[in-house]
Amino acid sequence: MKASSVSVLLVEDDPDDRMLLQKAFTALSPIPNLQIVDDGEALIEYLSCLHTYAAPPSLIVIDLNMPRISGHEVLLYLKATPWLQRIPVVVLTTSALDDDRRKSLSLGAASHLVKPSSFRLLVELLASLVPYWSAN
């Protein structure tokens, strides 16, 4: 049961970043059970199907700049939905603006991370998230 459950749910609309992040997660140890959805709408749809039969993911990683529903709106949805609000959410974005960071944290994000400019740094950054799915 535990083994088949999703440990990291990644919300990323950029195909390049989806590929980079997938590679980077694979470089981690232990490798999380990664599920990727394309945007906020897909996430909400995925979670509402999930509700009926599966355990919630251990961590949700979201981008901010997404079509239709922004990352902050997704965050608001997650934190306003009772059975989802306990899932830790990490914002992973290109934006280093203080305003965006403040808003992420005030909406209940566990952390607001800026996508680094090299693959090595990306792996190092994601490594800091390992405790979310390896703790138990």
Partner 1 sequence: MIAPLPPNETQRLAALHALHILDTPAEERFDRITSLASRIFNVPIALISLIDTNRQWFKSNQGLDTPETSRDVSFCAYTILERDVLVIPDALRDARFASNPLVTGKPFIRFYAGAVLRSGDGSAVGTLCLVDQQPRTISQSDIHILKALAMWAENELNNRELATANQALHHTIAEQSHAEAKLRSSEIAVRTLINNPGIMIGAVELVGDDFVQLIVNTATEVYFGRSAAEVRNMSASALGVPPDRLRRWIAAASASERLGQAQGFDYTRDINGMLKHYSANIAYIGTGENGRPRYSYSVHDVTAITHLTEELRASEERYRDLFENTTDLIQSVAPNGRILFVNSAWKTTFGYRDDELAQLSIFDVIAEESRAHCQMLFAQALAGEETGAAEAVFLAKDGRQIVVEGTINCRFEQGQPVSTRSIFRDITKRRQAETTLQRQNALVQLLQTVAVASNTAHTPDAPLQVCLREICAYTGWSAGHAYLPAEDGSMLPSGLWHTDDTKRFGALRAQTAALRSHFHASLPGRVVTSRQLLELHEVHGASAFKRYPAIAACGIQGWVGVPMLVEGEIYGVLEFFSSSPTSADASLRDLLLQIGTQLAWVVKRQQAEQALQSTTNKLARSHRELEEFTTIASHDLQEPLRKVRSFGDLLAEQYGATLQAEGRDYLQRMQHAAFRMQTLISDLLALSRLERQNSTFGHVDLAQVAREVVADLEARIAEGGGQVQIGALPTIEADALQMRQLLQNLLGNALKFHRPDVPPVVALNSQLVVQNAAGRNQHKAEYCQISISDNGIGFDEKYLDRIFNAFQRLHGRGVYEGTGMGLAICRKIVERHEGCITASSTPGQGATFSITLPLRQSAERVLS
Q: How far is the CB of 43 from partner 1 (least distance, A)?
A: 22
Measured from the CB atom, is 54 or 97 closer to partner 1? Answer: 97
User: How far does Cα 20 stand from its chain's mean position?
Assistant: 14
User: If we measure between CA atoms, which residue out of 87, 74, 3, 18 comes closest to residue 43?
Assistant: 74
Should residue 45 be labelled a site residue for partner 1 when binding is judged by CB under 8 A? no
Q: Count CA within 13 A, CB hemisphere, residue 81.
A: 14
Measured from the CB atom, is 103 or 115 closer to partner 1? Answer: 115
- Find the part of the chain contacting partner 1 (CB under 8 A) among 1-9, 71-79, 105-113, 119-127: 119-127
Q: How far is the CB of 3 from partner 1 (least distance, A)?
A: 29
Residues 58-117 that bind partner 1 (CB under 8 A): 94-95, 115-117
Alpha carbons 86 and 38: distance in angstroms, whole number: 22
Q: Which two tokens stand for residue 69?
A: 């529903």
